[in-house]
Amino acid sequence: MSDFNLQPAKDKIIYADNAATTSVAPAVLESMLPFLTKRFGNASSIYSLGVQSREAVEKSRNTIARCLNAEPSEIYFTSGGTESDNWAIRSAFKINLNKKHAVSSKIEHHAVLHSFKALEKEGLRVSYLGVDSNGLVDVKEFSQTVREDTSFASIMMANNEIGTIEPVKELSVICKEHGVLFHTDAVQAVGHVKVDVKELGVDMLSFSAHKFHGPKGIGGIFIRKGINLLPFMEGGAQENKMRAGTENVAGIVGMAKALEIATQNMTSNNKKVTQMRNHLIKSLLGIDRSRLNGDPVIRLPGNANFCFEGIEGESLILNLDLNGICASSGSACTSGSLEPSHVLLALGISHSVAHGSLRITLCEENTLQEVNFIIQKVKETVEKLRLMSPVWEKIKTMESAGFG
C-alpha cells in the first residue's frame, strides 16, 4: 500500500511529455531491484556484500563509457542533469579565475542559465548568444564572441523545448583553437541521438537517466582526462574524490541498463518516432495560424513544438489532460509563471504568440493510434478555446480588414 493518497490511475494515459521525464523501462527496473533489496551493501565496504555493489558500479561505468565512447575514468556519477551542469560551470569558473569571461546561449536550460547568473555575482561576465528563428546558434558569431579572457563556454547539445540540435562539434573545434574549455548540456541528446565524446571533441558533457527511461535522481558527467575540475561535493573519497557521497548503486545500475538499451535500439526507435512526429507536425500545422517552433530538420526525433495564435498554452494543456493526454507548454520549470518561455522569445516570437505554445514529445512507446488521438483532441481544443478567446476575435477582425 502506498502512503500517498494516489488517485486511481486513469484507464488510459497517453504520455506525450518525454522531454520532461520518461517511464522506467521494465528491464531497467528489473536490473535495479536486487540493489534495492538483498544486495544493499555500501560500495565502499570491503566485505563481499560491499564488493558486489562496487563491481556493479564499475561495470555500469564501463557500460556508460562505452555508449558515449569515453574512458570509464572520465565518467562521474551525479544526482542528475542539474547537478552535472552546476558542477561543470561553477568548477570551470573557479579553476581559471584569471579569465573572467564565458560564452553561453539564451536558450539554455535553467540549470545552466541560473548557474551563470549566480557566477555573474562573483565577477564572471557572460555573453549569452542569441539564436536564429529555428533556434540555432551561429558558429561564426560564437567564434567572434570568444576573446582573450574567455575561459569556458557552455552550449547545449539539444534544446529541451524546441528540440533543435546545436552544432556542438564545430563549436568545440573553435574552443580548442582558443584554449577555451567547452561544456555541453546533452541531457536531451544522450539516449536519443548519437553522442560520441571523442567525435564531438567536448571537454565536459552532462546527462541524466530519467530522460532515457532510467530512474530519476541519477545522472552523470563526462569530464575529459587531464581536465582538473574541482570536486563538487566534499566528503568521502567516492568518485575519485570528485563527488563525495555514498553511491546510488541501484540508480547507477538502472542508468547504465537504460543507456545500453537506448543505444542498441536507437536506429529503429528513431525511425518509428520520427515517422509519428512528422505525421503529428503535418497534421497540426493544418490548424489556421499555427507554427512549428525549432528547426524542421535538425531536431530531436521525438520533439514537436507549436504555437497556436489566440489561445493560452496552459488552457490547452489542462483540456488535453481531461482527455488523458500529458503534454506541456513552455518548459516545466517556467510553467506556473506568467512569463512565456525564454526559448520561444529567443526565436523572435512575440509574447502573445509564445503564450499559445504546445510541446509534444514522443518516445518509441507511443503508437500511431495515440498520435491520431492527440491530433484530434488538439484540433478540437484549439477550436473550442478560440471561440472563447477575445484575442482570437481580434486577430480575425484584423484579418478580415486586410491586416492579417
Ligand X SMILES: *Cc1c(COP(=O)(O)O)cnc(C)c1O
The one catalytic residue in 175, 326, 333, 363 is: 333
Residue closer to ligand X, measured from CB, 155 or 354: 155
Helix (H, G, I), strand (E, B) or coil at 33: helix
86 versus 150: smaller Cβ distance to ligand X: 86
* Catalytic residue flag (residue 333): yes
Nearer to ligand X, 214 or 340 (CB): 214
Task: For ligand X, give the closer residue by CB, 187 or 385.
Answer: 187
Residue placing its CB nearer to ligand X in the complex, 20 or 56: 20
- Which lies closer to ligand X via its Cβ, residue 74 or residue 185? 185
Buried residues in 217-254 as b, exposed as e (16+ CB within 10 A): ebbbbbbbeeeebeebeeeeebbeebbeeebbbbbbbb
Q: What value, to the nearest 5°, has the Cα angle with vertex 307 and ends 306 and 310? A: 150
Q: Considering Cα of 338, then 344, then 348, then 349, what sign does the dihedral take? A: negative
> Torsion angle, CA of 57/227/154/137, rounded to 10 degrees?
-110
Nearer to ligand X, 19 or 382 (CB): 19
At its nearest, how many Å lie between ligand X and the CB of residue 149?
27
Q: Work out how close the CB of 111 gets to ligand X at its nearest, in angstroms, rounded to a whole number.
A: 4
Query: How far apart are CB 288 and ligand X at their closest, in Å?
Result: 31
Q: Which residues of this protein are in contact with ligand X, per CB under 6 A?
A: 80-82, 85, 109, 111, 156, 160, 185, 187-188, 208, 211, 219
Q: Are 160 and 304 in contact (CB under 8 A)?
A: no
Q: Tell me how far, at minimum, the Cβ of 42 lies from ligand X, in Å.
A: 24
Output 290 or 357, the one with its CB closest to ligand X.
357
User: Which residue's CB atom is positioned nearest to ligand X?
Assistant: 81
Residue type (1 letter), 266: M
Distance CA 101, CA 123 (A): 9
**CA–CA gap between residue 250 and residue 273 (Å, rounded):** 29
| CA separation for the pair 9, 15 (Å, rounded) | 13
Q: How far is the CB of 215 from ligand X (least distance, A)?
A: 10
Residue 25 region by backbone torsions, left for phi larger than 0, else alpha for psi between -120 and 50, else beta: beta
Cell triple for residue 191?
A: 539516449
Return the SS3 of 146: coil
Burial class (CB in 10 A: 0-12, 13-18, 19+), 170: middle
Rounded least distance, CB 359 to ligand X, Å: 11
Work out whether strand 303-308 and strand 357-361 pair parallel, antiparallel, or are unpaired: antiparallel
Q: How far apart are CA 319 and CA 329, in angstroms?
A: 12
What's the closest the beta carbon of residue 328 comes to ligand X, in angstroms? 12
As a whole number of angstroms, the distance between CA 378 and CA 386 comes to 12
Closest CB 2 distance from ligand X, rounded Å? 23
Q: Please tell me the distance from the alpha carbon of residue 372 to that of residue 32, in angstroms, as a whole number.
A: 35
What's the CA gap between 341 and 306, in Å, rounded?
12
Catalytic residues: 333
